[in-house]
A = this chain, B = another copy of it.
Amino acid sequence: MTPFEVTILGCGSAKPTLRHHTTSQIICLKGIPYMIDCGEGTQVQLIRYKIHTGKLDHVFISHSHGDHCLGLVGLLSSLALDNRCNDLHLHVPSDLEQMLQAQIDFFVQHRNFDIHIHPIDCMQPTVVFKDNNVKVTAFPLEHRVPCYGFLFQELTGDRHIKPECIRQYGIPYDTIPSIQHEQDFTTANGQVIPNSELTTPPDPTRSYAYLSDTLVVPQYAELLQNVDLLYHDATYCADDEELAYKYYHATSKQAAEFAKACNARKLLLGHFSSRYKDENWLLEHATNVFPDTLLAEEGLTVAIGG
Contact = CB atoms under 8 A, between A and B. Distances in A.
B70 A47 contact: no
Interface string A47-81: 11000000000000000111100110110011001
A233 interface: no
Interface stretch (A98-106, A154-162, A185-193, A283-291): A98-106
Contact of A44 (B14, B16, B64, B67): B16
Nearest to A74: B40
Interface string A33-48: 0000000110110011
Given A15-B78, A81-B15, A44 B41 contact: yes
B14 A47 contact: no
A14 B81 contact: yes
A15 B77 CA distance: 8
A107 interface: yes
A1 interface: no
A123 interface: no
Q: Residue among A16, A74, A81 with the most chain B CB within 10 A?
A: A74
Contact of A40 (B41, B81, B106): B41
Interface string A263-303: 00000000000000000000000000000000000000000
20 contacts: A14-B78, A15-B81, A16-B43, A16-B44, A17-B47, A18-B47, A21-B44, A40-B40, A40-B41, A40-B74, A41-B41, A65-B107, A66-B73, A66-B108, A67-B74, A70-B70, A70-B77, A99-B103, A102-B102, A103-B103
